[in-house]
Chain A
Amino acid sequence: MEDILLALEQDGRLTAAQLAERLGRPEEDIKKQIAKLEAEKVIRRYRAVVDWDKSDSERVFGFIEVRVSPQRGQGFDAIAARIMEFPEVHSLYLMSGTYDLMVVVQGKTMREVAYFVAERLAPLESVLSTATHFVLKRYKVDGDIMVERTENKRLPVTP
């Protein structure tokens, strides 16, 4: 199972036939195992890693530190549920340290992100404070280095 996950994590478009060849197992087994992984939501979905900076569309990311007052009996889960359903929220984490929630917000412009924070996030009842940090450049995202690196040359023939 782990070998399938590791391979798909690298390249989600690998077919069962390709996986079977690379991992040296029957294609039918691979298909069954992928179906099981999908059914159990171990594999949640397949998607592309997009470098938005290179595309024509604008995409701005803000990292918002949010301090909240936890609710009796529900801790942070209730306020997290309120926040995570907004489509502008890209990621949401409960954090240790000086603030409680890290909300990653994406929008087309800084104004849009700022507006979301001011109009939607900050006014929530249990939110005590927010601090917005805008992303200026994405160097590495989810394990992928996004900046160009020079290609390494090797000698064409070596013993």
Chain B
Amino acid sequence: MSTSHSRVAKRVADLPPSGIRKFFELVERMPDAISLAIGEPDFTTPWRGRESAIYSLEKGHTHYTPTRGLQELRDAVASYLERRFGLSYHPDREVLITVGAAEAIDLALRAILNPGEAVLIPQPCFVSYPPCTVLAGGVPLPVPTRVEHDFQVQVSDLEAACDDRARALLMCYPNNPTGAVMDREALEGVMRWAEQNDLIVIADEIYAELHYDGGHVSAAALPGARDRTVLIGGFSKAWAMTGWRLGFAAGPQDLIGGMAKVHAYTVMCAPTMAQEAALDVLYGCDGEVAAMRREYDQRRRVIVRRLRDMGLDCFEPKGAFYAFPSIARTGLTSEQFAERLLQEEKVAVVPGTAFGECGEGFVRCSYATSLPTLEEGMARMARFVARAAG
């Protein structure tokens, strides 16, 4: 077949291949590798949620729900946001149940952006932000964050990256891949700056429940922030529900309305049995969530200690379930490090560059894996680092 033109649309063909994908193929060929490259909990969804989905199917609840999600679930999400973060949203007009937080991010970008408008994206960041921005007709403006600032985004860096096309700021704290959190003062500064520049803030707070150093402060909860913020959350991380694909967005009526329109035309509604399960976990699984958080917190201390003991500089992550050590002293690039570690010691970590250019010199190590596995992975990595840096 001779085709001078790609049959795939140019904007899709032009998307860079995912750094994660490339690495996935390498790891896939090594089934006995220890993977510290997994961005999802090792825990299974609390039984209450699973049992509730079984019951939902038994009752024959196999139909569409309202586009914005089950009324009871929207009510529950609104009251959860109030109880945990002091936020107040109207469940009918300001809450939308989505197919994972990932869909909510896509919806927010598509609902907000006019062609050519730009989105400030602090990096390292979740892999989908730049491509989703491009697919929504927008332009990603990467904003580097730095280890010397504990990977908290700085107003000066936002200022430097911003131009007059900028329409929104898309940030994730607690952060994947760095584990950084924003302290209140820094977050206030960023939100004030967003207000001065009349930007919409898309706050991906999927890891809000996994904050190990006091409570999470929601960007939307800061003075004056609510009406310019689309808050995104979901059930995947804290409730260990990745496979259910269920998230939510909360925000001012016009933005949620725009997102609901796209949502209605694309996916109709989020899966019914997942919504019914989510309703039960929101009301009844605080104990399980606390136990998982406790376990992550213990692993976090162990992994940071091991990484530092092997001579790597490791920023202390305060949230999510990732450590993001600097591998600079080995003299290797992130990709070289990850590939050689995999080949020589059969341990998978993700090169920092998969999350943006400024991730060079770092690797992401997930501690969403059992402590014995983590210990073995760290022991192998220590051997490798000793050789590479020796």
Contact = CB atoms under 8 A, between A and B. Distances in A.
Interface of A: 3, 6-7, 21-24, 152, 154-159
Contacts of B299: 22
A155 B42 CA distance: 11
Interface stretch (B33-41, B272-280, B377-385): B33-41
Q: Categorize the interface residue count of chain B.
A: 20 to 34
B298 A159 contact: no
Contacts of B340: none
Given A156-B24, A158-B20, A159-B20, 13 more contacts: A7-B298, A21-B301, A22-B299, A22-B301, A23-B298, A24-B301, A154-B38, A154-B40, A155-B24, A157-B350, A159-B126, A159-B128, A159-B354
B305 interface: yes
Interface in B98-137: 126-128
Contacts of B127: 159
Contacts of A155: 24, 38
A156 B20 contact: no
Contact of B28 (A156, A158, A159): A156
Contacts of B298: 7, 22-23
Contact of B44 (A3, A152, A157, A159): A152
A158 B20 CA distance: 7
B305 A21 contact: yes
A92 to B, nearest CB: 28
A156 B342 CA distance: 12
Interface of B: 18, 20, 23-24, 27-28, 33, 35, 37-40, 42, 44, 126-128, 176, 291, 294, 298-299, 301-302, 305, 348, 350, 354
Nearest to A3: B294
Contacts, number: 52
Nearest to B23: A157
20 contacts: A21-B301, A21-B305, A23-B298, A154-B35, A156-B27, A156-B28, A156-B33, A156-B35, A156-B348, A157-B23, A157-B24, A157-B27, A157-B35, A158-B37, A158-B39, A159-B39, A159-B126, A159-B127, A159-B176, A159-B354
B338 to A, nearest CB: 10
Nearest to A20: B301
B371 to A, nearest CB: 8
A157 B301 contact: no
Contacts of B348: 156-157
Contacts of B28: 156-157
In the complex, which of the residues B37, B42, B176, B291 has the most CB atoms of chain A within 10 Å of its own CB atom?
A: B37
Contacts of B294: 3, 6
B128 A23 contact: no
A157 B20 contact: yes
A117 to B, nearest CB: 35
B38 A158 contact: yes
In the A-B complex, the 5 residue pairs with the smallest Cβ-Cβ separation, listed nearest first, are A22-B298, A157-B24, A157-B37, A156-B27, A156-B35
B25 to A, nearest CB: 9
Nearest to B37: A157
A21 to B, nearest CB: 6
B268 to A, nearest CB: 25
Contacts of B24: 155-157
Nearest to A18: B302
